[in-house]
Amino acid sequence: MIESPSRIEPVRCGPMRAASGRVMYERDHVSDTPTADAPTEAARRRRRAPLLVVGGIVTAALVAGALTIGGAFDGDGDSAAPTAHERPADGTPPPATSETPEPPSTVTRITRADVKALTDARTRALRDGDASAFVSGIDPANTELLSGQRRLLANLRLFPFAGAEFLPPTSLDVVQAADAGAYSHDMVIVFSHQLDGIDSEPVAETYTWTLSRASIDAPVRITKIVGSNATSNPTRPIRYPAAWDGDEVAVVEREHILLAVAATDRDRAAAWADRAELAAKRNAEAWHGPAITPRRFAVFVPTKRETVRGVLGGLTGSCELVTPARPGGGSMSPVGARVTFDGADTAFASSTNPDTGIGLIRRELAQAMVAQFAQSSLIGGGGRSRWVSEGFAYYLAGDDGFRNAARAELRAGRFSGKLPVDTDLLPNVKGDQAAGAGFHVSMLTIRYLAEKYGAAEADGFVVAMYANPASLDAAIKAASGLERAAFEAGWADYVRAEIGG
């Protein structure tokens, strides 16, 4: 995390046992509230950070371009106190300097100190479970926003955060109107958080706050909060909405699973959590590669159609890899994952049989399990190799669902005998049947490695390809001892034998 001289302690929610014996996280009001003095104007000038630019999160009123997640963080560790090199050799303080105070503003302004006061207050309120303080900066007339933010706090308090805080953009110094009248401004606010046992360091979700000041002397109010859903941002912040952003939620925990559902689905949540736990255990038993860092996995199962569309689109399941919540974090390896399933999907939800839908669960959890080895959160386009990622997921799950598609392609003479490439798995490029065959052939590549050279070598191949997607020849040589052409010939014979019956 980024340190700041006025940094407050991150939230740590205390557990309590529910009647069923499950660990649930409730409010544990803390009476002592730390304060943080606003920095002087001179300190603010020294703490001003350059704007870092990547594609994705766009707030036109803030900058004429895009803002990195790193650029939205608070502070760089400077303080108003003189640094060592500013002091005389004998250690005595430097002489006081007199500065002419700035004249009172003649226009309506919103300063960095204004925004930081709001974000710091919100972080303290989250830690303390204080609903009144959490919404204190919101326009009292905006009852809908007040209600939604109180619900957000209640939802957040159910999750086991190792740390959580709201942070203003570092690029902000002062924004102002042209006169002394009412003024509003949009800016990106970061919710930096770390789920205990899931994220190896804090990750970020971003919101856009609309801040308004009615006049020069009026208080700054939050008049609107929306998600900054950076779906096209390659740095992969947490996709909005997260599990806590919508309706009231319920949280169920198992040894390897943290599962969130809408409160209206709480009666089904235990069975879903048990199924996900079984999938996680089977994946762990099948893994023979390097040690896995996360102790458990975050799973969200929405059933409301608009929520499903918002987080999944047309998919029945997904695994989003997320990168660190710090400057430059978007170019670093993932530090966590968020797995989502469509709870209204028939295969997932209609049966009480714990094996129903477990293949889907195992596939997505498999990708979350090996996220730590990836050099990028992206899949394809310079990130993880799509065919390796999907092939591994289907292999670990033991999923032969695309066998018939592969057989049809083979019988039609469309199996090239060459190892897959990422575009082989894209229906919009190859068509549904050929793409299905691509998934199956990708799976058979990992299975062939496991059967011929051992599961540890197959898993090592996946790790090598996650670390460097361009290392295919070297990864094949390390796993099999063969050059690519010799390996490919043996593999092609195996594929024909497996699907040609």
Q: Is the pLDDT of residue 127 over 90?
A: yes
What distance in Å separates the CA atoms of residue 53 and residue 64, rounded to the nearest whole number?
Answer: 11
Please write down the long-range contacts of 348-356, taking CB distance under 8 Å and 24 or more positions apart: 348/301, 348/316, 348/317, 349/268, 349/272, 349/303, 352/271, 354/271, 354/274, 354/275, 354/278, 356/275
pTM: 0.77
pLDDT in tens, 88-115: 334 444 444 445 555 667 889 899 999 9
Tell me the pLDDT band of 307, cut-offs 50, 70 and 90. Answer: confident
Q: Which pLDDT belongs to residue 33?
A: 39
Could you tell me what percent of the chain has a pLDDT over 90?
Answer: 61
Could you tell me which residue, 7 or 188, shows the higher pLDDT? 188
Q: Which pLDDT belongs to residue 323?
A: 86
Instruction: Give the mean pLDDT of 339-345.
Output: 91
- Within a 10 A sphere around the Cβ of 283, how many other Cβ atoms? 23
Could you tell me which residue, 217 or 256, shows the higher pLDDT? 256
- With residue 453 as reference, give the H or E element that holds it: helix 432-453
Instruction: Give the mean pLDDT of 303-308.
Output: 89
| Cα dihedral across residues 97, 98, 100, 102: positive or negative | positive
Which CATH code of 1.10.10.60, 3.30.2010.30, 3.40.50.80, 1.10.10.10 fits the domain covering 247-377? 3.30.2010.30
Q: Is the peptide bond before 241 cis (omega within 30 degrees of 0)?
A: yes
Q: Which pLDDT belongs to residue 74?
A: 42
Q: Where are the beta strands (DSSP E) in 15-102?
A: 15-17, 23-25
Q: Is the pLDDT of residue 320 over 70?
A: yes
From 107-116, 164-173, 430-439, the region with the lowest mean pLDDT:
164-173
- Within a 10 A sphere around the Cβ of 263, how many other Cβ atoms? 14
* Tokens found for residue 76: 């760089």
Instruction: Please state, rounded to an integer, the average pLDDT across all residues of the chain.
Output: 80
Q: Is the pLDDT of residue 350 over 70?
A: no
Identity of the highest mean pLDDT range in 78-87, 161-170, 397-406, 445-454 = 445-454
| CATH code reported for the domain at 15-38+47-79+109-231 | 3.10.450
Instruction: Give the mean pLDDT of 416-443.
Output: 97
What distance in Å separates the CA atoms of residue 136 and residue 146, rounded to the nearest whole number?
Answer: 9
pLDDT in tens, 9-53: 444 444 433 333 333 333 333 333 343 344 443 333 333 333 233
Tell me the pLDDT band of 173, cut-offs 50, 70 and 90. Answer: confident
Tell me the pLDDT band of 328, cut-offs 50, 70 and 90. Answer: low
Domain ranges of the chain: 15-38+47-79+109-231, 247-377, 379-501
User: Which amino acid is it at 122?
Assistant: R
Q: Which pLDDT belongs to residue 331?
A: 65
> Rounded to the nearest 5°, which phi and psi values hold at 299?
-125, 130
Helix (H, G, I), strand (E, B) or coil at 111: strand
Could you tell me which residue, 179 or 337, shows the higher pLDDT? 337
- Within a 10 A sphere around the Cβ of 142, how many other Cβ atoms? 17
* Tokens found for residue 225: 């909060």
